[in-house]
Every structure is written in structure tokens, then in C-alpha cells.
Amino acid sequence: MKNIWGASASGTSGVEASFNLNGNPSNYTVQMNHFTNQRGKQSIAINNQNSPNPTFDVFHVHPNNSGPYPSTPNDSADGKGDTTVGDTYGISMFVVSSRGLTVYDPGTKKSSMLRQGFDWMKPCW
């Protein structure tokens, strides 16, 4: 998470950076997504569920000038939002921001705050 936060100039550049967790929670690889350093140009390569190494989580930055929660079709630049991606692929969509770490769960269709402020930088154990 610290790497993508740094790639986005700590949320100040107005651009996003991201990575995926592929495989499963007990045996996974981290896949960094291509970072263009251009507003609205972030692309996320998701391995589908039939892949031998499927994507199960996506972590991405929301710049300081945007909301801390995963975007919806109503408040996204592309009209789809993070929630549509989560629903389409059945994956959790995490947002790293200066306001905290949030997640969208496609199973419950809800977004929630996991850690406030920069607590997401602390180890989870």
C-alpha cells in the first residue's frame, strides 16, 4: 500500500495507482498495475475467476481531492465506479486514501471504513 501511495505523490497528484492480489488469501502474488501518472488513465488488469491465478482483491489510491470510499456509478469519472468492477468480477475493492482504508464487498453490496486516517500504514497483526 505504501508503494501505490508514494506513486500517487501521497494522494496529491490527482492520479491513482493500484495493485491486485491474485491467487487466494493463503497463497497469493501481488500484481502492480500499470501507472500512467495521468488523471483518469488508471487501468486495472484483473485475472478472471477461471484463471489459475485469479484476482481476489484490488487496492487502489483515491487522491486527496476525491472521496475515501469506493466509487459508485453515480460518483465516478467513468460512469461505472469501483463498485461495478467489484460486482462484475466478484472481488473486494479497497481504497487507500489520506482519510483511511475502505473496502467495497460485492457479497453484501456495502462499503465500510476499515482503518481511519493513516492507520492503514500500520501492520495488520
Q: How many domains does the chain have?
A: 1
Q: Residue 25 is placed in which grid cell?
A: 488469501
User: What are the pLDDT tens digits along the chain (125 aa)?
Assistant: 888 888 777 777 777 888 999 999 999 999 988 766 555 556 788 998 888 899 999 998 888 888 899 999 888 777 788 999 999 999 999 999 999 999 999 999 999 999 998 887 776 54
Residue span of the structural domain in which 23 resides: 2-121
pTM of the model: 0.87
Q: What is the reported pLDDT for 44?
A: 80
For every residue of the chain, DSSP letters joined together read -HHHHHHTTTTTSS---EEEEEEETTEEEEEEPP---STT--------TTSSS-EEEEEEE--TTS-SSPP-TTS-SSSSHHHHHHHHHT-EEEEEETTEEEEEETTTTEEEEEEEGGGGGS---
